[in-house]
Amino acid sequence: MKQSNNKTISIIFFGTSDFVNPVLNKLKENFDVVKVINSPQQWNNKTIEQLSNLNPDLFVVVSYGQILPKKLLDIPKLAAINIHPSLLPKYRGSTPVQTAILNGDKTTGVTIIKLDEHMDHGPIIEQFEEPILPTDTFESLIQRLFEKSADALVHVIMHYNENKLKPQNHSKATFTKLLKRDDGYINLSLLEIGNWKLEIDRKIRAYYPWPGVWVKTIVSEKNEKIIKFLPNKKIQVEGKKEMSYKDFLNGYPDADSQLRLFLEKNV
């Protein structure tokens, strides 16, 4: 496929996250995006027929959160392809970026695959690495990965018939879990045990902005509030604006003693 013909390539885009906008915008600049699907669907005969009638060359799936059935994957003339923010087969599933930060990985990356009916299972079309910075949060890292993947995706599409597919080594596959709000809860009694300082830093960065890292504890006169730990040594009391650890210590002298001790050691 030559670049001069790129507007003849028709694409249906699937993506539910705001973080995928750089990819979508790049596709719109270079190709004919005939439909954008930004929410999970019930795939019945009617909805499948509607997509089939658009006669797309490609499906592009990015952070969509729903496995597409085979009868849907068979619609595009060329393939359904997916951008996954990890170095597959490592970290299949919905939270690869959070998991990489939690595990203290120094490097992650992006894998572009041809989709099959299994989760993050299809053959690899393109893959590149990206360093994880010590200050990276989920938000900053996922934005950077998708921004950098946009140009790689354009190249893959323009030269699709020249791509050599590489099967994944499924024996080396690892999987990530779906996050729940309670995953962000921390036990104050553990704050001074072992490597908890390092672990909580990773957790704060991995779980920002959601589900966040939080405790429910006394802040003043036996008044319990939910307190969120934020990146860059910031903290937020329920119903209040975020503040520095130092400002919290000055403003809440009667807060839980374990919490105050942890903050004092990390100001």
Whether omega for the bond prior to residue 22 falls within 30 degrees of 0, making it cis, is: no
pTM beyond 0.75? yes
pLDDT tens, position by position, 50-69: 999 999 999 999 999 899 99
Instruction: With cut-offs at 50, 70 and 90, classify the pLDDT of residue 193.
Output: low
Cite the residue boundaries of each domain of the chain with CATH code 3.10.25.10: 181-266
Backbone torsions φ then ψ of 107, nearest 5 degrees: -140, 140
Query: Domain 3-172 sits in which CATH superfamily?
Result: Formyl transferase, N-terminal domain (3.40.50.170)
With beta carbons less than 8 A apart as the criterion, state whether 113 and 122 touch: yes
CA-based end-to-end distance of the chain: 56
pLDDT tens, position by position, 206-256: 999 999 999 999 998 778 899 999 999 999 999 999 999 999 999 999 999
Instruction: With cut-offs at 50, 70 and 90, classify the pLDDT of residue 188.
Output: confident
With beta carbons less than 8 A apart as the criterion, state whether 156 and 81 touch: yes
Query: Domain 181-266 sits in which CATH superfamily?
Result: Formyl transferase, C-terminal domain (3.10.25.10)
With beta carbons less than 8 A apart as the criterion, state whether 56 and 11 touch: yes
Backbone torsions φ then ψ of 25, nearest 5 degrees: -65, -40
Higher pLDDT, residue 8 or 107: 107
Say if residue 3's pLDDT is above 80.
no
What is the sign, positive or negative, of the torsion defined by CA atoms of 243, 18, 41, 88?
A: negative
Alpha carbons 219 and 253: distance in angstroms, whole number: 8
With beta carbons less than 8 A apart as the criterion, state whether 138 and 99 touch: no
Amino acid 1: pLDDT: 39
At 23, is the secondary structure helix, strand, or coil?
Answer: helix
Cite the residue boundaries of each domain of the chain with CATH code 3.40.50.170: 3-172
With beta carbons less than 8 A apart as the criterion, state whether 19 and 145 touch: no
